[in-house]
């Protein structure tokens, strides 16, 4: 064997030994977290409104077809279809619907943990222990575990964003990876919103502003990939516009913007809810992650990889935009939480490479950060709202009485006071087959709704219902809820 071949083979086995224990420890950690969270997802009755929207849109897609997204048996253009498509594979096949709709966010979360490890390796292959450290900080983050066990769309968007950032790092050396960023940008838009396009733009601007990076960007690959991403992203809204006359302003979750901004005026009285969720109630380590990102932003050290500085700028830019836009939930910055975890891990690894008290302090801090993160996540996942079992039984009774000829109504005492659970709760748990109207007693009185009518109200409001429909009869009285029907024949 030639000397050069022996040297190459020796380097290969040395490289494998270099990574073996970091990868094994990372794998064991991800498996342990998968088992822990896998035991959590079947628990409880679906009652969180956003989870029920995912479940009900999937159920109606099974009833009416996968060509569009439906809610309350009407087309809804609030969200794109990818996770609903995936959930149609599990909802009819799992006996526990809670598990069926939460399985995909859990899988997305575990894939994100793997992507975090890959991103850590790309940042600095010479520091293999950055991989398990980044994963440990990420999976112990309560924002990860709580979202990975709820049937929401944010975990999927977080995975595609992390994958896109990883592909962008690969494109730093080989521009042929830019099309992979375009594909993940498209999948992210099919999952929730095309935020990856904004992430991509920030990355390109950062690299164009750095002289050393500017020379590495191959404009042909980059421009072609951006055009490819734009073309792919437009497919779904164009199909909805052509087949179902979707209003153009409702493309890309356009009808959800009021909720996104909390129905507040842009730039008026910032409430900093995103920072509160990221730094205080959402993640105890969030403040340290932001400090690390700011430190790398102003660092003059040459041993800091360009990818770390880039991810620091990206994370801070998106957080600043979220604060300026007064976004109402930390979930809107969830896609860059993996970046913050990797940046914090790199900062802590630099301390671990020191000697004496600095290293001992770093070890103690990491142990405290990870253990407190898991404890905080366990507490948050055990936090439950009021019992939903009584109302679930009433919803099921409503489903039994619903029929083609009857209108279905949910009665509230007033527009401001919502004592009944969401419309999605009754649609999903009642397995309803027709649309539901949600009215106050006053609206019901003014509607002149023809009989037969079936509905649900609170016991205290049933007397008001009987003044409108003297024939109304209680079919089920359960706790404080009444399922009733009114028909001329009664």
Average pLDDT, the chain: 87
How high is the pLDDT of residue 13?
Answer: 43
Q: How confident is the model at residue 267 (pLDDT cuts 50, 70, 90)?
A: very low
pLDDT in tens, 363-388: 999 999 999 999 988 888 865 666 78
* Site of tokens 């003059």: 300
Q: Model confidence at 264, in pLDDT bands (50, 70, 90)?
A: very low
Reported for 348-351, long-range contacts at CB under 8 A and 24+ positions apart, including other chains, are 348/133, 348/137, 349/127, 349/129, 349/130, 349/133
Separation CA 195–CA 371 (nearest Å): 32
Give residues with Cβ within 8 angstroms of 293, minimum separation 6.
311, 312, 315, 316, 340, 343
Per-residue pLDDT at 394: 94
What residue has token string 């009485």?
Answer: 401
Q: How confident is the model at residue 449 (pLDDT cuts 50, 70, 90)?
A: confident
Res 400 pLDDT > 80? yes
Looking at residue 16, its pLDDT comes to 66
In three-state secondary structure terms, 297 is helix
pLDDT given for residue 262 in this prediction: 47
29 vs 20: CA distance, rounded Å:
14
Q: What integer pLDDT is reported at residue 214 of this predicted model? A: 73
pLDDT at res. 382: 67
pLDDT tens digits along 44-87 = 889 889 999 999 999 999 999 999 999 999 999 889 999 999 99
| For residue 474, pLDDT beyond 80 | yes
Phi, psi angle pair for 263, to nearest 5° = 55, 35
Q: Give the whole-angstrom CA distance, residue 238 versus residue 253.
A: 14
Domain definitions of the chain by residue range = 20-382, 389-486
> Has residue 266 got a pLDDT over 50?
no
Residue 159 clears pLDDT 70, i.e. is over it:
yes
Q: Which residue has the tokens 């398990």?
A: 132
What six digits make up the tokens of 365? 């801090």
pLDDT band at 280 (very low <50, low <70, confident <90, very high): low
Helix or strand holding residue 453 (H, E): strand 453-458
What does the pLDDT look like over 435-445, one tens digit per residue?
999 999 888 88
Query: What pLDDT shows up at residue 11?
Result: 45
Please state, in angstroms and as integers, the Cα–Cα distance from residue 446 to each residue in 412, 439, 443, following that order. 14, 10, 5
More confident residue, 417 or 381: 381
Whether the Cβ atoms of residue 273 and residue 329 lie closer than 8 Å to each other: yes
User: Rounded to an integer, what distance in angstroms lies between the CA atom of residue 146 and that of residue 378?
Assistant: 9
């Amino acid at each position: 064997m030639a000397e050069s071949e022996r040297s190459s083979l020796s380097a290969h086995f040395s490289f494998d030994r270099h990574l073996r224990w970091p990868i094994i420890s990372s794998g064991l950690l991800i498996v342990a977290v998968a088992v822990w969270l896998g035991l959590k997802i079947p628990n409880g009755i679906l009652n969180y409104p956003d989870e029920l929207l995912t479940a009900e849109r999937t159920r109606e897609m099974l009833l009416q077809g996968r060509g569009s997204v439906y809610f309350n048996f009407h087309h809804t253009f609030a969200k794109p279809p990818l996770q609903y498509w995936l959930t149609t594979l599990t909802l009819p096949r799992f006996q526990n619907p809670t598990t069926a709709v939460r399985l995909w966010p859990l899988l997305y979360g575990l894939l994100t943990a793997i992507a975090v490890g890959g991103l850590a390796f790309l940042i600095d292959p010479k520091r293999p222990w950055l991989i398990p450290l980044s994963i440990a900080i990420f999976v112990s983050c309560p924002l990860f575990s709580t979202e990975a066990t709820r049937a929401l769309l944010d975990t999927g968007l977080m995975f595609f964003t992390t994958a896109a950032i990883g592909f962008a790092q690969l494109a730093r050396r080989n521009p042929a990876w830019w099309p992979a960023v375009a594909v993940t940008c498209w999948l992210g838009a099919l999952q929730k919103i095309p935020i990856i396009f904004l992430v991509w733009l920030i990355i390109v601007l950062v690299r164009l502003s750095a002289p050393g990076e500017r020379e590495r960007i191959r404009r042909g690959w980059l421009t072609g990939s951006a055009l490819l991403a734009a073309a792919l992203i437009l497919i779904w809204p164009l199909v909805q516009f052509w087949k179902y006359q979707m209003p153009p302003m409702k493309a890309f979750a356009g009808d959800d913007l009021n909720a996104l901004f909390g129905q507040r005026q842009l730039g008026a009285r910032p409430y900093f809810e995103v920072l509160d969720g990221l730094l205080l109630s959402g993640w105890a380590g969030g403040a340290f992650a932001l400090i690390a990102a700011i430190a790398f932003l102003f660092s003059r050290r040459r041993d800091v990889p360009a990818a770390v500085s880039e991810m620091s700028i990206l994370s801070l830019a998106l957080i600043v935009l979220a604060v300026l836009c007064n976004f109402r939930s930390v979930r809107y910055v969830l896609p860059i939480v993996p970046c913050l975890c990797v940046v914090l891990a790199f900062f802590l690894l630099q301390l671990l490479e020191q000697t004496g008290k600095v290293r001992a302090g770093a070890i103690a801090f990491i142990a405290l950060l990870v253990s407190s993160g898991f404890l905080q996540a366990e507490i948050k996942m055990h936090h439950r709202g009021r019992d939903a079992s009584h109302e679930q039984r009433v919803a099921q009774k409503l489903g039994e009485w619903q029929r083609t000829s009857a209108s279905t109504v949910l009665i509230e005492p007033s527009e401001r006071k919502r004592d009944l659970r969401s419309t999605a709760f009754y649609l999903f748990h009642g397995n309803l087959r027709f649309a539901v109207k949600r009215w106050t007693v006053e609206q019901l009185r003014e509607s002149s709704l023809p009989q037969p009518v079936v509905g649900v109200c609170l016991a205290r409001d049933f007397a008001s219902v009987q003044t409108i429909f003297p024939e109304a009869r209680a079919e089920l009285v359960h706790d404080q809820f009444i399922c009733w029907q009114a028909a001329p024949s009664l």
